[in-house]
Amino acid sequence: MSVKAAITVNRPREGVERLWQSSEYRPEYIDGAEAAVTFVDAPGDRGTEIHVDLDHSAPAGKLGEAVQKLVGSEPRAKVMDDLRRFKQHVETGVIARSEAAPEGELAERKLKQRPAQPLDDSEVEKAGV
């Protein structure tokens, strides 16, 4: 099954490709998943499009896919997490964190959100903030 995802980063292509290769920015899931990643100039002044094509066979076929969707570990969601976090890191210098999702955008967090109130001391360490 082919998983396709894409994002647009507001930076010129050469810089984006360079950062993608660097250890500080390289996305973990996409890197470990043997995906085809292409960088394309976005139209006009929009920057760079990053296209990811992941050839993925779900363990246990259709049932496996359904379970993955339920627990939030569906491959496309994880690819999008990586792409969004890369874009945030490159464009703003930080990963967007909320009180409900202190680790930033994570597929696994979608069904298990914290309440939207500040973390206490024990939670701060766990969230890696």
Partner 1 sequence: MRATVWSGRNTVQVENVPDPRIMNDRDAIVKISSTAICGSDLHLYDGYIPTMKRGDILGHEFMGEVVETGKGVTSPEVGDRVVVPFPIACGDCWSCQHELYSVCENSNPNSGIAEKMFGHSTAGIFGYSHITGGYAGGQAEYARVPYADVGPLKIEDDLTDEQVLFLSDIFPTGFFGADLCDITDGEVIAVFGAGPWASSPSPAR
Residues that bind partner 1 (CB under 8 A): 8, 10, 45-47, 77, 80-81, 84, 87-88, 91-102, 104-105, 107, 109-110, 113-121, 124, 129
* Closest CB to partner 1 among residues 38, 98: 98
**Least distance from partner 1 to the Cβ atom of residue 110, Å:** 6
* Closest CB to partner 1 among residues 18, 112: 112
What is d(CA 38, CA 128) in angstroms, rounded to the nearest whole number? 31
* Closest alpha carbon to 6 in 90, 96, 79: 79
Q: How many residues does the chain have?
A: 129
**Least distance from partner 1 to the Cβ atom of residue 75, Å:** 13
- CA 3, 7, 10 angle in degrees (round to 5)? 165
**Least distance from partner 1 to the Cβ atom of residue 115, Å:** 3
Contact 20, 26 (CB under 8 A): yes
* Closest CB to partner 1 among residues 24, 34: 24
The rounded radius of gyration (Å) of the Cα atoms in the chain is 16
